[in-house]
Amino acid sequence: MTSSLSPHRALQQFIKKAKELLGESAVLYDEVDLLVYEQDGTLAVRGKAYAVVFPRSVDEMAKAVELAYNYGIPIVGRGSGTSLSGGATPIKGGVIVSTARMNKILEVDLDNEVAAVQAGVINDWINSYLARMGYQYPIDLGYQYAADPGSQRVSTIGGNIAHNSGGVKCFKYGVTVNQLRGLTVVLPNGEVRRIGGKEFEQAGYDLIGLLTGSEGTLALVAEAVVRVVPTYETTVTIMAKFNDLAAAGRAVSAVIASGAMPVAMELMDKLAVEAVESGPYAAGLPRDAEAILLIQVEGSPPGARDEAAKVAEVLRRNGAAGVEIVEDPARAAKIWAARKQAFGAMGFVGPNYVVEDGTIPRKKLAEALMIARAAGAKRGLRVANVFHAGDGNLHPLILYDERRPGEREKAIEAGEEILEACVELGGTITGEHGVGYMKKKLLPKMYRKEEIELMKAIKTVFDPKGLMNPGKIFP
């Protein structure tokens, strides 16, 4: 095979052969069918794919990738398309390799405390599958907190790995890379590599670390072996309200400094609370608060209660205007579902929004929240804030109205200003949704030229033709 064919002819050949290899129904190329693949969760960027393929197995994924590579066609992986940085958008055209049909949980091995899954498995499916065994995949709250339909947790494990995503529980359990024991990946030329397995440690270079967070620019993840952990008997939720945003930020630090071990610690500001309390997921969060903190602790029944009481005491001593300890699982589930719906609920307070995703050292929280608010205010825009204290991950939601000319651009501009401030505060331009297309111009704010060159040289080792998710990460 050769890539000296005209692009049009190469594409026709690709489609013909892909149908032979994967089956007629596994290849989309009709213009109308391709429309929904022009975008991911990032509304500000579009790109036209030539075709979408739906492999069912490692082997089929390898065949599809090899075929595209040999024809010189760009290859863009896609899970559920929830990227907020244009990561799954084919900005340079090419073939989208969707993991939608690679949705099997392959094995649960509790003896080694691991689960093997295909890349297209939804994060939360693992938890719902494990719940009856008393285990969890500890990256987010677990399926009992999902408020379906409309749950934001539609992301796939493959997408989580591509972006090294965090979750509400990463305060205690770490981010995605900390959960991985093994990966099966497809290299650009279609070769399959099985890296690691059920073990903690590997000989040789840690390619799992390198591939995690590489946003589909080095290889595609086909399968993963993730760790699973036992679920503690009891969880207790603490909800605290604050009349002052800065005080809430300081209280986060105080809880950490106290030596408490929360599983999750989330902050929502007044506008975020107002949004969720205006919709179907209203959970009685205090609308008069400038900010609320939601904290979850876990343990044996006496252990968790003891820990919750200590956290509550720290919050009271650190400016909380009210603290509620929630032991009732049904009420706790409702509160956390409200938190998880905050993004979706933005529609109740404004017609459109841009959501940003940066990290900051936790100590700088109050400062960052003020900067975010000010970045909106000076452009006449309101900014709601949701913050994962766990990984210092700030999600400013910048509200705008796209019917007003220029407002969207202002919102994007405000978002960039906030991310630049994150870097200046000692943080990063992405917590969990990647650099992708939207943030690549910000990469030089974080890295020197030589560091970016080092990363590019590594990319060339994997992808000498530059066909893997082109136009992403690197400016």
Q: Which of residues 55-94 bind a second copy (CB under 8 A)?
A: none
Q: Is 215 or 407 the residue whose CB approaches a second copy more closely?
A: 215
Q: Is 231 or 352 the residue whose CB approaches a second copy more closely?
A: 231
Q: Interface with a second copy by CB under 8 A: which range of 48-56, 121-129, 379-387, 457-465?
A: 457-465
Strand 75-78 relative to strand 95-98, pairing: parallel
- Minimum distance, C-beta of residue 230 to a second copy, in the bound complex (Å): 4
Q: Interface with a second copy by CB under 8 A: which range of 50-58, 330-338, 342-350, 456-464?
A: 456-464
- Minimum distance, C-beta of residue 440 to a second copy, in the bound complex (Å): 9
Among 38, 244, 277, 306, contact with a second copy (rule: CB under 8 A): 306
Instruction: Tell me whether residue 189 is exposed, middle or buried, using C-beta atoms within 10 angstroms of its C-beta: 0 to 12, 13 to 18, 19 or more.
Output: middle
Q: How many residues does the chain have?
A: 475
Q: Is 234 or 385 the residue whose CB approaches a second copy more closely?
A: 234
- Footprint of a second copy on 351-380 (CB under 8 A): 359, 361-363
Q: Is 391 or 417 the residue whose CB approaches a second copy more closely?
A: 391
- CA–CA gap between residue 354 and residue 422 (Å, rounded): 17
Q: Is 295 or 335 the residue whose CB approaches a second copy more closely?
A: 295
Q: Is 177 or 282 the residue whose CB approaches a second copy more closely?
A: 177
Please answer whether residues 96 and 26 qualify as being in contact, where contact means their C-beta atoms are separated by less than 8 angstroms: no
- Footprint of a second copy on 11-30 (CB under 8 A): none
- Footprint of a second copy on 205-224 (CB under 8 A): 205-210, 212-214, 218
- CA–CA gap between residue 428 and residue 420 (Å, rounded): 8
- Footprint of a second copy on 307-346 (CB under 8 A): 307
C-alpha torsion sign, points 151, 87, 140, 222: positive
DSSP per-residue letters across 187-251? -TTS-EEEEE-S-S--SS--HHHHHTTSTTSS-EEEEEEEE-EEPPSEEEEEEEEES-HHHHHHH
- Footprint of a second copy on 407-446 (CB under 8 A): 426-432, 434-435, 439, 443, 446
Among 36, 257, 317, 424, contact with a second copy (rule: CB under 8 A): 257
- Footprint of a second copy on 150-179 (CB under 8 A): 164, 166, 170, 174-175, 177-178
- CA–CA gap between residue 446 and residue 103 (Å, rounded): 36
Q: Is 141 or 304 the residue whose CB approaches a second copy more closely?
A: 304
- Footprint of a second copy on 260-289 (CB under 8 A): 260-261
Q: Which amino acid is at 379?
A: R
Q: Which amino acid is at 117?
A: V
- Minimum distance, C-beta of residue 60 to a second copy, in the bound complex (Å): 20
What is the size of the binding site for a second copy (CB under 8 A)?
83
Tally of CA atoms within 13 A in the half-sphere of 295 that contains its CB: 31
- Footprint of a second copy on 223-242 (CB under 8 A): 229-232
Kindly state the greatest CA–CA separation across the chain.
Answer: 71
- Minimum distance, C-beta of residue 277 to a second copy, in the bound complex (Å): 30
Q: Is 121 or 473 the residue whose CB approaches a second copy more closely?
A: 473
Among 331, 412, 458, 465, contact with a second copy (rule: CB under 8 A): 458
C-alpha torsion sign, points 303, 306, 310, 313: positive
Among 43, 282, 374, 452, contact with a second copy (rule: CB under 8 A): 452
Instruction: Tell me whether residue 460 is exposed, middle or buried, using C-beta atoms within 10 angstroms of its C-beta: 0 to 12, 13 to 18, 19 or more.
Output: exposed
- CA–CA gap between residue 241 and residue 286 (Å, rounded): 7
Radius of gyration for the alpha carbons in the chain, expressed in angstroms and rounded: 22
Q: Interface with a second copy by CB under 8 A: which range of 99-107, 118-126, 252-260, 375-383?
A: 252-260
Does the footprint of a second copy cover residue 198 (CB under 8 A)?
yes
**C-alpha distances in angstroms, 386 versus 60, 266, 286, 382?**
40, 7, 15, 14
Q: Interface with a second copy by CB under 8 A: which range of 93-101, 149-157, 399-407, 458-466?
A: 458-466
Strand 264-269 relative to strand 383-388, pairing: antiparallel
Q: Is 70 or 212 the residue whose CB approaches a second copy more closely?
A: 212
Please answer whether residues 261 and 307 qualify as being in contact, where contact means their C-beta atoms are separated by less than 8 angstroms: yes
Q: Is 329 or 361 the residue whose CB approaches a second copy more closely?
A: 361
Query: What phi and psi, each to the nearest 5 degrees, are found at residue 269?
Result: -90, 180
Element (H, E) at 52: strand 51-53
Q: Is 49 or 314 the residue whose CB approaches a second copy more closely?
A: 314
Among 45, 393, 396, 397, contact with a second copy (rule: CB under 8 A): 393
Which one, of 78, 75, 68, lies nearest residue 11 by Cα?
A: 68
- Minimum distance, C-beta of residue 5 to a second copy, in the bound complex (Å): 28
- Footprint of a second copy on 108-127 (CB under 8 A): 109-113
- Minimum distance, C-beta of residue 169 to a second copy, in the bound complex (Å): 12
